[in-house]
Chain A
């Protein structure tokens, strides 16, 4: 683009302006909520927490109380919850991240792998929380987070169609089929479980899998997972694979039923059973379905253990305010009133035992989900897990569709996963 100016001018302009992009980035970085995690320019009396819109109102009064007691301002920064982990991992190393973050525990592995969280000493208080919650926020022998809620799936039963509880999956299936036969016009499915038709859903299938005694990784004594011991391919896993194909052929599991279709069908009373989590209960209530929350049935004779998702607060590794942040988490968010406030906005069982006991008295649904959770296992937080979901899910999906021999399909998936996590 030469119009008239001398070339010297052009060059100078170019080099002078070449930093414009950097300037903008620098400015953007400066204006980003850097909390107090950086240097002399900011006061040390502010700590920043990233959370989502849902939780902000519950944390606000707690932050105000903290300000009154200690004089430290807690700045609440609302972030998009779906990407908060990626933002956290990319922001912390630059020194611009928050002091604290709310996050599901299964991201913990990648936080540790990227060195962005710092260990949290709960000391003797760790006994006040549900064991599974502490297991979930433990990684490599270190506790990193303060847990506040636990969520897991359960079996929802339409009480108008099936009045009584069953303990085995076979019973569930036969009652579901009986309900289907008795109400031929309206009831279309014996049992519902929402799957992703493209990648399957090992998360929802896991209670059925564990009831065969099959698991994904071996657990160490402290409840954390051992990434070197993939147990998916053992005998029990192969039994489970054979069972999936069988259920698929019977039409109990259907690869074409997405989560939305399953919820819609249960809302319309088209099935007696629905395996789902607390997030769908409000919609089912609204649809006017009379439901009961049953313990997860055993398909293979052993205890059915669902995956637990634990939401927790974590402290950034580069926080300059670790004392204040630790105080805020352990002494203010680790209290009954805080955990109950968080339950009110999220509708999930609290992780603090005393808060859970209080909530369970007034909310029978929470008690049902919470009691099932006591048998659960934390979702693996190890980074290797990211390489497991896809193959695991597609193997299950293939078998539900009745393609291939269970042993071959399952073993292929297992060897694929093993080559990835080496």
Chain B
């Protein structure tokens, strides 16, 4: 692949130079002795006033968006993205406002940016996720996890009364003003200051609404300080075991007691019965013996643990090997069967004396016009053991379990994929056949070669020269042919020796999908990313080897 690239680049290089020097209409060596007029033309991209205006408008738009983004991100205090935006915008302006030597960059920049956004970033990010434990229950930061555990540990004391509250303020400190549900006395307190009786409070009905020396907040003031209001925790009395008042809606407070206390100093949680939960290094708080863990956990880097797990976890290792084997089998079989059938039909329909070629060709291409999604679902219906067309009509009501017996299901997905895939091969082979020189064919027949011999020794090798790269592409495509498998069998019938939701017809890609987004068990993005990297390595290695081999074919020409 790399060799190919270099050769095409070398071929392309003179052209690019030509393109690059067209605007100046002069040999490149004289550029240092530019006159003023040509300088300004170079700045304008060498394409007159229209190009200059277009450039200014586009750059202006980009800069405006960048400035807006910087403001928004500054509000969210996202400093790293801000610096990146500034650097990139600066680089783009520098490239397009400059002149002379930066010309090639002007042509390359858009492509490079798209490459980075759509390829490099995605790959790097998946790669990074593969080395973390990002999964259900480990998807945030440690601080979030601690806050969440604490919030879930706060429980309302059963059957405790509800306290009507008002939010009042003194200085900038917020207080809860409430009425004792038992004796109707006005009480006031704030975080760290237990409730005390207020004298001379103003009542509205039997609810205290104002206290002397304090200002009662109205709703809109409360709404601008929601975080402060919801974080108020007013002890009911000086005994902390009696619980504290908290309010979520600024009108009613309840008595809460936490059954999980976080200690900043030791970084541990202790529950009401004295059990201690420590950070166990796996991104969660758990007891020392590991018998109980608190959720949620948080995301940590785990190095190669995901890769190790894929090949050592007894639940995963055996099935993974079977899935890898089947993935190869499926991809190879798909390429061979579709190519075989497509080539056969192309040869037959390429006969010069055949009438109605166009009609046949349209009919043959039809399956190619159906979306694979749809075909998968339709075939799943056709293959229903009892009501499906295939069993009812073609097999006279036999109950053949096309999709639920492991080997039959494998046969079925290969067959449906053949139906979906042969038109493509037919098109490719038809095109390639029509470009073959007729003389070679005639010469061979004059020499007395049989049609089979002509095909095997002349046509097929010549065909393969142009078709081989497409076969490799087809292999890579079928290696990751998600649609057919998922729509037809969802990868089932399931393996019985594993608890993971994977089965006999799963390809690596559907297995990854199920691990990342599946309904069975934990969604484990880290493991799924690790397996994605594995898929990439497999496909890349095979493609490289295969492309090296196809170079040998080209020597035929």
Do chains A and B interact in one complex?
yes
The 8 closest A-B pairs by CB, nearest first: A21-B121, A41-B75, A19-B84, A115-B148, A93-B140, A115-B296, A256-B386, A26-B81
- Point out residues on B near A: beta carbons under 8 Å: 9, 13, 16-17, 20, 65, 69, 71-78, 80-81, 84-85, 87-88, 90-91, 95, 101-102, 104-105, 108-109, 112-113, 116-117, 120-122, 124-125, 136-137, 139-141, 144-145, 147-149, 151-152, 154-156, 162, 219-220, 222-224, 226-227, 229-230, 248-252, 254, 295-296, 384-387, 403-404, 489-490, 492-494, 496, 499, 501, 517, 519-523
Contact A30 B84 (CB under 8 A): no
> For residue A160, which residues in chain B have a CB less than 8 angstroms away from its CB?
none
Contact A27 B149 (CB under 8 A): no
Q: List 16 A-B contacts (CB under 8 A).
A: A13-B108, A17-B91, A24-B117, A26-B81, A38-B76, A39-B76, A44-B226, A114-B296, A115-B295, A199-B490, A257-B386, A323-B226, A327-B249, A389-B520, A391-B499, A417-B499
Contact pick for B248, options A1, A23, A24, A121, CB 8 Å: A121
Contact A4 B75 (CB under 8 A): no
Residue A358 is within 8 A (CB to CB) of chain B in the complex: no
> For residue B69, which residues in chain A have a CB less than 8 angstroms away from its CB?
23, 26-27, 30
Docked Cα-Cα span, A13 to B113, in Å, equals: 10
Interface centre among B76, B112, B229 (most CB of A within 10 A): B76
Residue of B nearest to A144 (CB): B152
Contact A39 B75 (CB under 8 A): yes
Within 8 A of B (CB), among A290-329: 317-318, 320-324, 326-327
Contact B152 A13 (CB under 8 A): no
Docked Cα-Cα span, A346 to B118, in Å, equals: 40
> For residue A417, which residues in chain B have a CB less than 8 angstroms away from its CB?
499
Name the distance in Å between B27's Cβ and chain A's nearest Cβ. 15
Contact B102 A5 (CB under 8 A): yes
Contact A197 B149 (CB under 8 A): no
> For residue A1, which residues in chain B have a CB less than 8 angstroms away from its CB?
9, 108
Contact B85 A387 (CB under 8 A): no
> For residue B226, which residues in chain A have a CB less than 8 angstroms away from its CB?
44, 320-324
Contact pick for B494, options A19, A113, A394, CB 8 Å: A394
Docked Cα-Cα span, A30 to B67, in Å, equals: 13
Contact B517 A86 (CB under 8 A): yes
Docked Cα-Cα span, A394 to B112, in Å, equals: 50
Name the distance in Å between B378's Cβ and chain A's nearest Cβ. 13
Known: A39-B76, A412-B496. A21 touches B117 (CB 8 A): yes
> For residue A18, which residues in chain B have a CB less than 8 angstroms away from its CB?
116, 120
Docked Cα-Cα span, A3 to B9, in Å, equals: 9
> For residue A186, which residues in chain B have a CB less than 8 angstroms away from its CB?
none
> For residue A89, which residues in chain B have a CB less than 8 angstroms away from its CB?
136, 139
Name the distance in Å between A227's Cβ and chain B's nearest Cβ. 11
- A interface size (C-beta, 8 A): 84
Contact A16 B88 (CB under 8 A): yes
Docked Cα-Cα span, A121 to B151, in Å, equals: 12
Contact pick for B522, options A45, A256, A386, CB 8 Å: A386
Residue of A nearest to B114 (CB): A20
Contact B84 A23 (CB under 8 A): yes
Residue A210 is within 8 A (CB to CB) of chain B in the complex: no
Contact A326 B249 (CB under 8 A): yes
Residue A120 is within 8 A (CB to CB) of chain B in the complex: yes
Q: Beyond the given A26-B81, A197-B404, A322-B227, could you list 17 further A-B residue pairs with CB under 8 A, ordered by the A residue number?
A: A4-B104, A13-B105, A16-B91, A20-B84, A21-B122, A21-B125, A22-B81, A22-B121, A23-B81, A30-B76, A41-B72, A72-B223, A93-B144, A121-B156, A142-B152, A390-B501, A412-B496
> For residue A12, which residues in chain B have a CB less than 8 angstroms away from its CB?
91
Docked Cα-Cα span, A151 to B88, in Å, equals: 53
Name the distance in Å between A207's Cβ and chain B's nearest Cβ. 22
Name the distance in Å between B272's Cβ and chain A's nearest Cβ. 12
Name the distance in Å between B15's Cβ and chain A's nearest Cβ. 11
Contact pick for A44, options B88, B224, B254, B404, CB 8 Å: B224
Residue A90 is within 8 A (CB to CB) of chain B in the complex: yes
Name the distance in Å between B120's Cβ and chain A's nearest Cβ. 7
Contact pick for B91, options A13, A72, A412, CB 8 Å: A13
Docked Cα-Cα span, A415 to B47, in Å, equals: 75
Contact A119 B517 (CB under 8 A): no
Within 8 A of B (CB), among A106-145: 110, 112-116, 118-121, 123-124, 140-142
Contact A26 B85 (CB under 8 A): yes
Name the distance in Å between A104's Cβ and chain B's nearest Cβ. 13
Residue of A nearest to B518 (CB): A386
Residue A167 is within 8 A (CB to CB) of chain B in the complex: no
> For residue A394, which residues in chain B have a CB less than 8 angstroms away from its CB?
494
Contact A17 B116 (CB under 8 A): yes
Name the distance in Å between A216's Cβ and chain B's nearest Cβ. 15
Contact A3 B229 (CB under 8 A): no
Contact A115 B149 (CB under 8 A): yes
Name the distance in Å between B63's Cβ and chain A's nearest Cβ. 13
Contact A320 B227 (CB under 8 A): yes
Contact pick for A112, options B152, B155, B386, B520, CB 8 Å: B152
Residue of A nearest to B12 (CB): A3
> For residue B109, which residues in chain A have a CB less than 8 angstroms away from its CB?
13, 17
Contact B104 A20 (CB under 8 A): no
Contact B144 A115 (CB under 8 A): yes
> For residue B101, which residues in chain A have a CB less than 8 angstroms away from its CB?
5
> For residue A197, which residues in chain B have a CB less than 8 angstroms away from its CB?
384-385, 403-404
Contact A323 B222 (CB under 8 A): yes
> For residue B155, which residues in chain A have a CB less than 8 angstroms away from its CB?
141-142
Name the distance in Å between B11's Cβ and chain A's nearest Cβ. 13
Name the distance in Å between B460's Cβ and chain A's nearest Cβ. 36
Residue of B nearest to A21 (CB): B121
Known: A22-B84, A113-B137. A387 touches B499 (CB 8 A): yes
> For residue B522, which residues in chain A have a CB less than 8 angstroms away from its CB?
383, 386
Residue A183 is within 8 A (CB to CB) of chain B in the complex: no
Name the distance in Å between A145's Cβ and chain B's nearest Cβ. 13
Docked Cα-Cα span, A318 to B144, in Å, equals: 9
Within 8 A of B (CB), among A376-406: 383, 386-387, 389-391, 394
Docked Cα-Cα span, A412 to B387, in Å, equals: 30
Residue A419 is within 8 A (CB to CB) of chain B in the complex: yes
Contact pick for B521, options A22, A115, A386, CB 8 Å: A386
Contact B117 A20 (CB under 8 A): yes
> For residue A92, which residues in chain B have a CB less than 8 angstroms away from its CB?
140
Residue A229 is within 8 A (CB to CB) of chain B in the complex: no
Known: A324-B226, A419-B499. A113 touches B144 (CB 8 A): no
Docked Cα-Cα span, A412 to B519, in Å, equals: 21
Residue A184 is within 8 A (CB to CB) of chain B in the complex: no
Known: A27-B69, A389-B520. A254 touches B501 (CB 8 A): no
Known: A113-B137, A254-B386, A383-B136. A26 touches B102 (CB 8 A): no
Contact A330 B113 (CB under 8 A): no
> For residue B16, which residues in chain A have a CB less than 8 angstroms away from its CB?
3
Residue of A nearest to B223 (CB): A324
Residue A258 is within 8 A (CB to CB) of chain B in the complex: yes
- Per-residue CB contact flags for chain A residues 27-49 toward chain B (1 = under 8 Å, else 0) read 10010000000111110110000
Contact B223 A45 (CB under 8 A): yes
Docked Cα-Cα span, A19 to B101, in Å, equals: 24
Contact pick for A261, options B84, B137, B387, CB 8 Å: B387
Contact A13 B248 (CB under 8 A): no
Residue A70 is within 8 A (CB to CB) of chain B in the complex: yes
Name the distance in Å between A87's Cβ and chain B's nearest Cβ. 12
- Per-residue CB contact flags for chain A residues 222-246 toward chain B (1 = under 8 Å, else 0) read 0000000000000000000000000
Contact B499 A198 (CB under 8 A): no
Docked Cα-Cα span, A163 to B251, in Å, equals: 55
Contact B116 A21 (CB under 8 A): yes
> For residue B489, which residues in chain A have a CB less than 8 angstroms away from its CB?
198
Docked Cα-Cα span, A254 to B399, in Å, equals: 12
Contact A317 B148 (CB under 8 A): yes
Docked Cα-Cα span, A271 to B426, in Å, equals: 47
Contact A19 B87 (CB under 8 A): yes
Docked Cα-Cα span, A39 to B139, in Å, equals: 21
> For residue A24, which residues in chain B have a CB less than 8 angstroms away from its CB?
117, 121
Docked Cα-Cα span, A71 to B298, in Å, equals: 37
